[in-house]
Structure 1
Amino acid sequence: MFKRAVSRRLAALLAASQLLLVAQVPVAQAAMIGTAEVLQAQQQQVDRQQLLSMLEDRGVQDKLASLGVERDQVEQRIQSLTNAELAQFNQQLSEAPAGGIIGIIVLFLVIFIITDLLCATDIFSFVKCINR
Structure 2
Amino acid sequence: MQTHSFFRRMAAMLAVLHVLMIVQIPLANAAMVGTGEVLAEQQQQVDRQQLLSMLDEQGVQEKLLSMGVDRSQVEGRINSLTSAELAQFNQQLSQAPAGASGVVGIIVLFLVIFIITDLLCATNIFNFVKCINR
Q: Which amino acid letter does the alignment assign opposite residue 129 of structure 2?
A: K
1:103 aligns with 2:105: yes
The CA deviation at 1:118 is 4.5
Residues 3-42 of structure 1: pairs in structure 2 closer than 5 A: 3-42=3-42
Cα pair distance change 1:104/1:11, threshold 3 Å? same
Residues 16-60 of structure 1: CA deviation (Å, up to 9, x unaligned)? 322332233222222222222222122212211110110111111
Determine the C-alpha separation between the residues in 2 that align with 1:4 and 1:79: 64
Q: TM-score with structure 2 length normalisation?
A: 0.81
Identical aligned residues as a percent: 67
The CA deviation at 1:130 is 5.8
Task: Structure 1: state its 5+ residue gaps.
Answer: none
1:123 aligns with 2:125: yes
Determine the C-alpha separation between the residues in 2 that align with 1:5 and 1:72: 67
- For these two proteins, the number of residue pairs brought into alignment is 131
Q: TM-score with structure 1 length normalisation?
A: 0.82
CA RMSD of aligned residues (A): 2.1
Cα pair distance change 1:98/1:23, threshold 3 Å? same
Structure 1 residues 71-80 or 85-94, which shifts more? Answer: 71-80
Determine the C-alpha separation between the residues in 1 that align with 2:50 and 2:96: 15
**What SS does structure 1 have at the residue aligned with 2:68?**
coil
Task: Structure 2: state its 5+ residue gaps.
Answer: none
Structure 1 residues 87-96 or 66-75, which shifts more? Answer: 66-75
Structure 1 residues 96-105 or 82-91, which shifts more? Answer: 96-105
